C-alpha cells in the first residue's frame, strides 16, 4: 500500500503529481504547470515505490492507466475531503442540488460513515477542471471499515433515492467495494465485491467466506 508524507493512499483518492514533458502523456491530458491530476486505482502497482493511477480527459474515450512514483506526488485529496467543498464549487448545475443536500446532511444520515463524491463530480470538485456532463450520475463512496447492517444500508439507500439526480454509491470495505444497493438487498444472498485482484462473489464484504 503506497504512502506519501505519512498518508496511506486509498482507492478513489485524487492525487496531483509532477509530470515532465518527456513523460509521454497523451495530448489530451490537462496539465497544471508541470503537474497532472489522477485518481488512485483499485489495481495494485507492479513497481515498488509507485502507485497505480488513472488519468481522465474531457472525453469518455480519454482514459489512461499508469503508475507514478510516490515521491512525485505533491497533493492528495480524498473523497471525504470534498464533502465540504460542494457548496463552494461551480460543479454542473445538474449535480449541484444533490451535493448541497448531501453537504447539509447529518453524519447520522450515513450511519456515521465517512463519505465523499467520486467520479466526474469528485474530479471536478478537487481540480476545478470540467468533468461533469448533463447526463452524469453522482458517484459516492462510504468508507465502511466496520460492518454496516443491511437495514442501515437500506435506510441510507432510501435517502439517496430522494435526491434530484441518480446516485451510484459504493461501500468501501477493507476487502474491496460493494454497491450499496446490493448490500441493502435481501439477506443471505451473495453480492459482487470489487477487489484488487478482480471481482468476486461473497456473502460477507468484510470477512473472507472461508473463515
Number of folded domains in the chain?
A: 2
What is the value of pTM for the model shown? 0.89
Place 188 in a pLDDT band, splitting at 50, 70 and 90.
confident
Domain boundary among 42, 77, 112: 77
Same domain, 69 and 116: no
Query: Residue 211 pLDDT > 60, yes or no?
Result: no
Same domain, 109 and 198: yes
Domain boundary among 57, 77, 97: 77
pLDDT recorded at residue 92: 73
pLDDT recorded at residue 3: 65
Range list of β-strands (E), the chain:
3-4, 7-8, 14-18, 31-32, 35-40, 50-56, 63-69, 73-77, 115-117, 138-143, 167-173, 176-179, 191-195, 198-202
pLDDT recorded at residue 104: 81
What nine digits make up the cell of 184? 441493502
- pLDDT per residue as tens digits for the range 48-59: 999 999 999 888
Instruction: Evaluate whether residue 210 is within a structural domain.
Output: no
Instruction: Evaluate whether residue 209 is within a structural domain.
Output: no
Q: Which residues are catalytic?
A: 137, 139
Instruction: Evaluate whether residue 208 is within a structural domain.
Output: no
Instruction: Evaluate whether residue 207 is within a structural domain.
Output: no
Instruction: Evaluate whether residue 95 is within a structural domain.
Output: yes
Same domain, 36 and 57: yes
pLDDT recorded at residue 187: 80
For the segment 165-191, the average pLDDT, to the nearest whole number, is: 93
Among the listed residues 88, 91, 79, the one whose alpha carbon sits nearest the alpha carbon of residue 15 = 79
Which residues does residue 176 pair with via DSSP β-bridges, in sequence order? 173
Inter-residue long-range contacts of 50-59, CB under 8 Å, 24+ positions, other chains counted: 50/2, 51/2, 51/9, 51/15, 53/15, 53/17, 55/25, 55/29, 56/123, 56/131, 57/26, 57/28, 57/29, 57/30, 58/28, 58/130, 58/131, 59/28
Query: Residue 210 pLDDT > 80, yes or no?
Result: no
Same domain, 135 and 110: yes
Place 129 in a pLDDT band, splitting at 50, 70 and 90.
confident
Same domain, 17 and 30: yes
Range of the domain at 185: 79-202
Same domain, 60 and 156: no
pLDDT recorded at residue 183: 96
Same domain, 48 and 126: no
Domain boundary among 14, 48, 77: 77
Same domain, 39 and 66: yes
Query: Residue 79 pLDDT > 80, yes or no?
Result: yes
What nine digits make up the cell of 170? 459504493
| Cβ 15 vs Cβ 53: under 8 Å | yes
Same domain, 68 and 83: no
CA atoms within 13 A on the CB side of 52: 11
Same domain, 54 and 83: no
Mean pLDDT of the chain: 88
Instruction: Evaluate whether residue 90 is within a structural domain.
Output: yes
Same domain, 71 and 149: no
pLDDT recorded at residue 99: 81
Least confident of 26-30, 91-95, 180-184, 189-193: 91-95
Same domain, 83 and 122: yes
Amino acid at each position: 500500500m503506497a504512502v506519501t508524507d505519512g498518508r496511506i493512499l486509498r482507492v478513489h483518492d485524487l492525487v496531483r503529481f509532477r509530470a515532465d514533458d518527456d513523460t509521454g502523456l497523451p495530448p489530451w491530458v490537462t496539465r497544471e504547470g508541470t503537474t497532472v491530476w489522477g485518481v488512485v486505482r483499485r489495481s495494485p502497482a507492479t513497481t515498488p515505490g509507485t502507485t497505480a493511477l488513472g488519468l481522465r480527459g474531457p472525453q469518455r474515450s480519454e482514459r489512461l492507466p499508469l503508475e507514478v512514483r510516490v515521491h512525485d506526488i505533491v497533493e492528495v485529496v480524498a473523497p471525504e475531503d470534498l464533502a465540504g467543498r460542494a457548496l463552494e464549487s461551480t460543479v454542473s448545475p445538474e449535480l449541484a442540488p444533490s451535493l448541497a443536500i448531501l453537504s447539509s446532511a447529518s453524519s447520522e444520515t450515513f450511519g456515521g460513515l465517512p463519505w465523499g463524491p467520486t467520479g466526474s463530480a469528485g474530479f471536478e470538485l478537487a481540480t476545478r477542471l470540467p468533468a461533469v456532463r448533463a447526463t452524469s450520475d453522482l458517484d459516492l463512496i462510504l468508507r465502511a471499515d466496520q460492518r454496516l447492517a443491511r437495514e442501515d444500508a437500506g435506510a441510507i439507500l432510501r435517502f439517496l433515492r430522494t435526491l434530484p439526480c441518480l446516485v451510484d454509491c459504493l461501500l468501501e470495505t477493507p476487502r474491496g467495494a460493494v454497491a450499496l444497493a446490493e448490500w441493502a438487498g435481501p439477506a443471505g444472498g451473495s453480492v459482487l465485491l470489487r477487489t484488487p485482484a478482480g471481482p468476486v462473489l461473497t456473502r460477507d464484504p468484510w470477512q473472507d467466506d472461508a473463515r
